[in-house]
Amino acid sequence: MSLKHSYTLIAPFYDAVISRATQRVRADNLKQLPAEGALDILIDGIGTGLDLPHLPPNHRYTGVDLTPAMLRQAEKRRGALALDLLQCDCQALPFPDRHFDHVVAHLILAVVPQPLIALQEAARVLKPGGTLLVLDKFLRPGQKAPLRRLLTPLSRHIATRMDVVFEDLLAQTPALRLESDRPVLAGGWFRALRLVKC
- Domains for the chain: give ranges and CATH numbers: 3-197 (3.40.50.150)
- Specify the 3-state DSSP secondary structure of 26: helix
pLDDT above 70 for 152 = no
How does the average pLDDT of the chain come out, rounded? 88
pLDDT above 90 for 82 = yes
Q: Are strands 100-106 and 40-44 parallel, antiparallel or unpaired?
A: parallel
Q: Can you tell me the mean pLDDT for 146-170?
A: 67
pLDDT above 80 for 26 = yes
Amino acid at 48: T
Q: Are strands 190-197 and 126-137 parallel, antiparallel or unpaired?
A: antiparallel
Q: What percent of the chain has pLDDT over 70?
A: 83
At residue 155, the pLDDT reads 44
At residue 14, the pLDDT reads 65
Q: Can you tell me the mean pLDDT for 147-165?
A: 60
pLDDT above 80 for 33 = yes
Neighbour-count burial of 60, counting CB atoms closer than 10 A to its CB (0-12 exposed, 13-18 middle, 19+ buried): middle
Contacts 24+ apart (CB under 8 A), 14-23: 14/47, 14/48, 14/70, 14/73, 15/48, 15/50, 15/73, 18/50, 18/107, 19/50, 21/185, 22/50, 22/106, 22/107, 22/135, 22/185, 23/50
At residue 7, the pLDDT reads 55
Q: Considering only residues 158 and 194, tell me which one the structure prediction assigns the higher pLDDT.
A: 194
At residue 150, the pLDDT reads 53
pLDDT above 60 for 151 = no
Assessment of whether the complete model's pTM goes beyond 0.95: no
Q: How far is CA 142 from the centre of its chain?
A: 24
pLDDT band, residue 42 (cuts 50/70/90): very high
